[in-house]
Amino acid sequence: MPGFRYISWSEYGDLAETLAKRVGESGRKYDLVVGLARGGIPVSMVVSDRLGLKVDFLIVKSYRGIGKRTSPKILSTISENISGKRVLVVDDLVDEGDTLASVTRRLSRLEPLTLDTAVIFKKPWSKIEPNYFVQTTEKWIVFPFELNEVETLRKASDGRKLS
């Protein structure tokens, strides 16, 4: 693994604002933001607020530890009817792209007019190219809302403390 990058709350806010600005400046219009829980909840709230859009959420599980992926499992449904609507799916990052691919396949069956994706971070090896992203990185991103969780996982996997 190429190392960790720790994101402070201040930097997270700046990154979320940048993503919302990029979407807004694109000229594309959306009717709904769908945030992917868990990591995509905070950023989707910022994007939906800045764009003046409704937000809905999907719960998706695809990790069982640091760098340990499983097949994505969509554990909930959205409450909004998206048929004929312009939908923006928002998450914190796209790694290999399996989660975004699974979600967009599932949501496509509900016949949205358009279905775009936005993330803060994109890994260079992602099979999916999001419509919007802020930065590309190879590092394992540690968001400010998961510091204790990551420290616990690291201790369990290698006995080292976070630096």
Domain count, the chain: 1
What is the C-alpha R_g of the chain? Answer: 16
With respect to residue 48, please indicate whether it lies within any of the assigned structural domains.
yes
Task: Give dist(CA 148, CA 5) in Å, integer.
Answer: 15
Average pLDDT, the chain: 87
Report the alpha-carbon angle 94-123-77, nearest 5. Answer: 5
The answer to whether position 125 is within a domain reads yes
* Across 99-124, average pLDDT: 95
Give 43-94 pLDDT, tens digit per residue: 999 999 999 999 999 988 765 555 555 666 665 578 789 999 999 999 999 9
* Cα–Cα distance list, 36 to 1, 69, 87, 92, 107 (Å): 24, 16, 13, 8, 12
Cβ atoms 160, 145 nearer than 8 A:
no
Is the residue at 163 inside a domain? no
Q: What is the pTM of this model?
A: 0.84
C-alpha distances in Å from residue 142, one per residue of 31, 109, 145: 30, 33, 8
Report yes or no on 98 lying in a domain: yes
pLDDT greater than 90 at residue 133: yes
In the structure, what pLDDT confidence band is assigned to residue 163 with cuts at 50, 70 and 90?
very low
- Parent domain of 28: 4-158
Has residue 73 been placed in a domain? yes
* Beta bridge pairs of residue 65: 68
Task: Summarize pLDDT for 7-19 with one digit per residue, the tens.
Answer: 999 999 999 999 9
Q: Which residue has the higher pLDDT, 70 or 107?
A: 107
Instruction: Give the Cα separation of 45 and 43 in Å (integer).
Output: 5
pLDDT given for residue 38 in this prediction? 83
CATH number at residue 131: 3.40.50.2020
Q: What is the pLDDT of residue 67?
A: 53
When pLDDT is averaged across residues 96-120 and rounded to a whole number, the result is: 94
CA–CA dist 81, 111 (Å, integer): 9
